[in-house]
Amino acid sequence: MQSAMSIGRALDLGAYWEGQVVDARFQLQQHLGGTPDRAVFLTELDGSKAAIKIVLATSSDPDTQLAAWRRAAELSHPNLIRILAHGRSQIAGKDILYVVSEYADEHLGQVLPLRSLTAGEAETMLMPTLSALSYLHGQGLVHGRLRPANVMAVYDQLKLSSDSVQVAGAARDREEITMYDAPESIGGRVFPPADIWALAVTLAETLSQPASAPTTKEATPYWDLPQPFADIVSNCLQRDPAVRWKPEDISARLRNPAVEKLPPRVDFRQGDEPERSRRWSPVIALAGVGLLALVAIVYGFLNRGSPAESSSPPPTAQVASRQGSDPLPTQGAVRNRVLPNPSESAKNTIHGHIKVRLKVGVDPAGQVSSAKFANPGPSKYFARLAMEAAQQWKFAAPTVNGHPVASEWNLLFEFARGGTDAVAEKVQPASVRN
C-alpha cells in the first residue's frame, strides 16, 4: 500500500517534472496529463513535437512492457499513432519506462463533455477505427485501451493510440475495471472481442455523451440510438465474446443499403465563429475520405517562431500577388501576402466563415520575426495553415527619419467554402494611439 501511494504522489506531481530530461534526449516540456501511475508530457524529437509517456518501472513488468512497445513500434497503419522511441531511464532518482509517440492535436474525449456526435460524425469516426482494429486483430494483437481519449487526431488523420497494443491473450497491465472493459477482462487477459466491447461503449458514448453511456451487457432502447448504431451496439455488447460482432460485421452493417441514409455531418452555426463545442466536426467529417480537418486543443503548440526563409512556400500555402515594390513608405505596407490553401475536403466542412487572427512582429528588413494567435478560431487545422502562411508574409517596414524600424501587424485570415482571404492592419505605437 505504501508503495502504491508513493507511485501516486510521484506522478500526480508530474508538472514538477517539467524541464527534466529523459534518457539524455527528451526534455519534458509541458505536462499534458496523467493518472496515478503514469504521466504524459510534450517533448521534441528531431525538431518536431512529440508526446512522451512515462511510467514508473515498479508499476509494471518492465521487460514485458518494453517488449510490447517494441512490437507496436513495428506496426504500420495510417490509423495508428506511430511509436517513435521507447526505453528505460531515470527521473529524479526514480526508475521509469518511457514511450515517445506522434503528437496528437486533439482526442475525442475532449469533445464529448461539450456535446455528442451526430450520426454522420459517428459513422465516419467508425471507419478508420474499424480499419485499425482489423489490422491489429489480423496480426494477433489487441488494442486493449479503446476509449474516447485514445481516438486521436494528428493533423489530417484520425488515429488510435498504439502504446497499449499487446499480443492477444496477454495479461492486463492494470487491475481496475471500467465500463470500457469487457466482462471477460475481469479474468485478467485481453482478446480481440474485448476491443469490440470497448468500441461499442465508445460509440454509444459519442452519440449520447458519457452520462448515458452503457454500463450493462445489453443495448437498451432508452438510449434512443439511431440506426444502424443501435444494432451495432446491441450486437457488440453481448456478454458472450464468441457471438460479438467482428470489425467486418460492423462494416457490413454500415454498408447495408436497406438502412436509411444517415443524416449529414453537423453544420457549424451560421456566423463568423463556430463555438468550441462544435470543433470536432471538421475532424470527423473528413475521416471517411482519409483527410481529417483537425481542431484545437488547449496546448498552444502552434505558436512557434518564424521558419527559415526558403525560395518557395510550403505546399500548404499559395503566394498571392505582390502589393507593389515602391520605396518604403513612412507607415509601412504589405509587400507580399501568402494565403493558406486548405484542401477541398476541408473547405467543404465550412459553413459560414472561420476566422483566425494573429499578431506578427516585423523586423526592420520587413521579415516576420514573431507570430502569435490573437484568436486561433475553432479549428486547429485552419489555425495551423494561417500560422504557416503568416510567417511567410513580407512587409515594407515603416521608417523613422528615413530609417526602417520594427513594427507589429494584426492579420485576419478568413476561410470560406468559396476561398480564403486575408487583411492586414498595422498596430500603431502607443505614442500614436494616445
Beta partners for residue 95, in sequence order: 90
Least confident of 88-97, 207-216, 383-392: 207-216
Confidence label for 173 from pLDDT (cuts 50, 70 and 90): low
Percent of the residues in the chain that have a pLDDT greater than 90, as a whole number: 43
Q: What is the pTM of this model?
A: 0.59
What would the mean pLDDT of 106-116 be, rounded to a whole number?
86
Q: What pLDDT score was predicted for residue 268? A: 24
pLDDT in tens, 308-356: 333 334 434 444 433 444 443 456 789 899 999 988 877 877 877 888 9
Separation of alpha carbons 152 and 280, rounded Å: 11
Between the alpha carbon of residue 137 and those of residues 166, 171, 235, the distances in Å are: 10, 16, 18
CATH no. of 300-433: 3.30.1150
Contacts of 179 (CB under 8 A, 6+ apart): 201, 213, 214, 215
- All three cell numbers of 99, joined, read 514511450
The owner of cell 504557416 is 388
Say which CATH architecture domain 2-102 belongs to.
2-Layer Sandwich (3.30)
| Distances from the Cα of 266 to the Cα of 115, 123, 207, 251, 282, angstroms | 12, 12, 13, 22, 9
pLDDT for the residue numbered 5: 40
Specify the residue for cell string 461539450.
Answer: 114
Report how far residue 171's alpha carbon sits from residue 315's, in angstroms, rounded to the nearest whole number: 46
Query: Where do the DSSP E strands lie in 92-239?
Result: 94-102, 106-107, 141-142, 151-154, 157-160, 166-167
Is the pLDDT confidence value at 302 over 90? no
**CATH dotted code for 106-255:** 1.10.510.10
- Range(s) within the chain of domains with CATH label 1.10.510.10: 106-255
Highest mean pLDDT among 36-40, 239-243, 380-384: 239-243
- Sign of torsion over alpha carbons 235, 170, 109, 136: negative
Least Cα distance to 279 among 201, 147, 358, 376 occurs for: 376
Question: 377: exposed, middle or buried (C-beta count within 10 Å: 0-12, 13-18, 19+)?
Answer: buried
Residue 432 has pLDDT above 60, yes or no: no
**Cell 501576402 sits at which residue?**
337
pLDDT band at 392 (very low <50, low <70, confident <90, very high): very high
SS3 411: strand
Range of lowest pLDDT (108-122, 213-227, 404-418): 213-227
Q: Is 60 exceeded by the pLDDT of residue 218?
A: no
pLDDT digits (tens, 9 = 90+) for 400-420: 887 889 999 999 999 988 889
- 175 falls in which pLDDT band (50, 70, 90)? low
Q: Where in the chain is the domain with CATH 3.30.200.20?
A: 2-102
- 293 vs 93 pLDDT, higher one: 93
Q: Pick from 299, 366, 276, 301: which is nearest to 329 by CA?
A: 366
Residues 6+ apart with CB under 8 A from 257: none
pLDDT at 379 (0 to 100): 81
Residue 160 CA from chain centroid, whole number: 10
- Determine the average pLDDT of the residues in 54-79: 91
* Cα–Cα distance for residue pair 10/23, rounded to 1 Å: 18
Asked if residue 262 has pLDDT above 70, the reply is no
